[in-house]
Amino acid sequence: MKKLFSILFMTTFLFAACEGDQGPQGPAGPPGENGVNIVGISYEYDVEFQYIEDDNIYISLLEFPPTEEPSDAILVYRLETIEDVETWNLIPKSYFFDEGILQISSNHTDQDVELLIEADFDLENLDSSFTSNQYYRVVVVPSDFEQSTGIDTSNMNAVMNALNIKESDVKKVEAIK
């Protein structure tokens, strides 16, 4: 056994000591997987809606300042205060009244968001708590954001944390009147 151990030791020592000239460096391997590197932008608007009587609809257009890269995912949140607690709710959102159903929704492009208030009842006398001095946040994120992070996009604070956006980073923008 001592003899076998001695032979193995000497063989290992010889191979380790036989280091000759090193050849040229081989070609670079394929790049590794990128980490999650998500850049998001958030805009806040103080919105006044316009009533379009012929269509029984309220509309507001929110334009973005120019961004470096367009994104496929636009998340829109409405600020609501319930019992002195402020919450940001992802839209579209429906509200149920005795008169019928009201829905706040949006359409978007890479440069703007159109906010819509629609209902199956006459909106002419809708309470101004829906149409005046309304705060909306638009968060622009890469299209694969939800899949790559697993974040619940209905929770604006979770989205902003995942994007490392602080309140001080939110860009206040004036809505088109």
**pLDDT tens-digit profile, the chain (177 residues):** 556 555 555 555 555 555 667 778 877 766 655 554 555 788 899 999 999 999 999 999 999 776 656 556 788 999 998 888 999 999 999 999 999 999 999 998 878 899 999 999 999 989 999 999 999 999 887 766 666 677 777 888 888 887 778 888 787 777 665
The pTM score is 0.67
Nearest CA-CA partner of 66 in 110, 26, 4: 110
Could you give the residue ranges of the DSSP H alpha helices within the chain? 2-17, 145-149, 156-162
Domains of the chain, CATH where assigned: 41-174 (2.60.40)
Q: Which two tokens stand for residue 50?
A: 């316009």
